């Protein structure tokens, strides 16, 4: 019951974001397509490394954990989705990159005693985020 309550709260929160038109995707169609391709080649292998224990495995749609970050398993669709939802914002504490890089043990991803993401993989993601930020239209 308690878990159901928390999940319902998350659903309401996520819906709030959508209803209020939070869309963090300010790329041109051409840039979005190019970055989706790069995401699949460069970033997806890191996110899916480790199967069920990977970022994508634990954050799979339908998994009963308390998070609004959800991957369907389709790299390009998931790219468009998490870009829109704001998980790829440069420097945002709730973003994929910052949750990987954080020094706070209660915030780091993957959680708990799991090994940290290798530095090389973090750098690939960081470069990707920086390149994308440079192409995002200014508000």
Among 43, 55, 75, 129, binds ligand HEC (CB under 6 A): 55
CB atoms within 10 A of CB 89: 19
Cα 117 versus chain centre, distance: 14
For ligand HEC, the closer CB: 27 or 117: 117
Q: Which residues contact 47 (CB under 8 A, 6 or more apart)?
A: 54, 55, 56, 71, 96
Check if the beta carbon of residue 26 is closer than 8 Å to that of residue 137: yes
Query: Which residues between 24 and 53 bind ligand HEC (CB under 6 A)?
Result: 53
**# residues near ligand HEC by CB under 6 A:** 18
Query: Which residues between 71 and 110 bind ligand HEC (CB under 6 A)?
Result: 87, 94, 96, 99-100, 109-110
To the nearest whole angstrom, how small is the minimum distance from the Cβ of residue 29 to ligand HEC?
A: 26
Among residues 102, 82, 91, which one has the least CA distance to residue 129? Answer: 91
Q: Which residues bind ligand HEC (CB under 6 A)?
A: 53, 55, 58-59, 65-69, 87, 94, 96, 99-100, 109-111, 117
């Amino acid at each position: 019951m308690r878990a159901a309550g928390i999940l319902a709260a998350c659903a309401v929160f996520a819906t709030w974001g959508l209803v209020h038109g939070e869309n963090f995707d300010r790329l041109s169609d051409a840039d979005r397509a190019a970055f989706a391709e790069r995401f699949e080649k460069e970033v997806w292998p890191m996110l899916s490394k480790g199967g069920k224990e990977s970022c994508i495995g634990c954050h799979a749609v339908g998994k009963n954990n308390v998070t609004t970050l959800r991957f369907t398993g389709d790299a390009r669709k998931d790219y468009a989705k998490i870009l829109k939802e704001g998980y790829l914002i440069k420097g945002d504490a709730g973003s994929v990159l910052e949750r990987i890089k954080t020094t706070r043990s209660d915030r780091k991803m993957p959680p708990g005693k799991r090994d940290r993401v290798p530095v090389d993989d973090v750098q690939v993601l960081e470069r990707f985020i920086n390149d994308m930020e440079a192409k995002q239209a200014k508000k």
